[in-house]
């Protein structure tokens, strides 16, 4: 009985090994090579009007052909599908931050008036891949003060 079990195991292992080789020969690789991936895209939506009426800027966005993750460095650039993050700059000020999730960008405390929010899709080495600018006008709210936390 033990000899039968050993023979069966050997046959199963041989079939599994051959199946893997056949799968490699008959099918494309499970992960696309980096050179064939489509260009990353950043799609930014207008700020939510209800929140904006209260002085809170909420900008929703999505990406295509790139996953937003808090991963940085040269090795992360080699990962497929591509990884990255969003650089956010308000009114051209110093103090850009790296937004590392698909959660909306939420900005409070802006004074009433027009503002520009630059959103740049970046790879893990901070190389800018594409960008979108959101123009927004923060209204005067009750009490005349910006929304604060």
Per CATH, the architecture of 35-144 is what?
Sandwich (2.60)
**Is the omega angle on the peptide bond into residue 81 within 30 degrees of 0, that is, cis?**
yes
Give the pLDDT confidence score for residue 21 in this predicted structure. 44
* Of 62 and 6, more confident: 62
C-alpha span between 112 and 102 (Å, rounded)? 27
pLDDT (tens digit, 9 = 90+) per residue, 25-61?
666 555 555 567 889 999 999 999 999 999 999 999 9
What mean pLDDT, rounded, does the chain reach?
A: 82
By the 8 A CB rule, do 99 and 131 touch? Answer: no
Residue 11 has what pLDDT? 41
The answer to whether residues 105 and 59 touch, using CB atoms and an 8 Å cutoff, is yes
What digits encode the pLDDT tens for the residues 78-104?
888 889 999 999 999 988 999 999 999
The domain limits of the chain are 1-30, 35-144
Read off the tokens for 25. Answer: 């020969």
Question: Is the pTM for the entire model greater than 0.85?
Answer: no
pLDDT at position 126 = 95
């Amino acid at each position: 009985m033990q000899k039968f079990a050993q023979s069966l195991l050997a046959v199963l292992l041989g079939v599994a090994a051959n199946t893997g080789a056949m799968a490699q020969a008959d099918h494309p690789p499970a992960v696309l090579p980096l050179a064939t991936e489509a260009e990353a895209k950043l799609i930014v939506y207008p700020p939510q009007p209800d929140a904006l009426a209260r002085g809170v800027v909420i900008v929703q966005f999505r990406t295509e052909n790139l996953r937003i993750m808090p991963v940085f460095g040269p090795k992360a650039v080699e990962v497929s599908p591509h990884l990255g993050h969003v650089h956010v700059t308000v009114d051209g000020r110093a103090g850009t931050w790296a937004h590392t999730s698909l959660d909306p960008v939420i900005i409070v405390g802006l004074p009433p008036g027009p503002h520009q929010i630059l959103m740049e899709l970046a790879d893990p080495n901070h190389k800018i891949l594409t960008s979108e600018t959101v123009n927004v006008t923060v209204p005067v709210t009750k009490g005349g003060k910006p929304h604060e936390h």
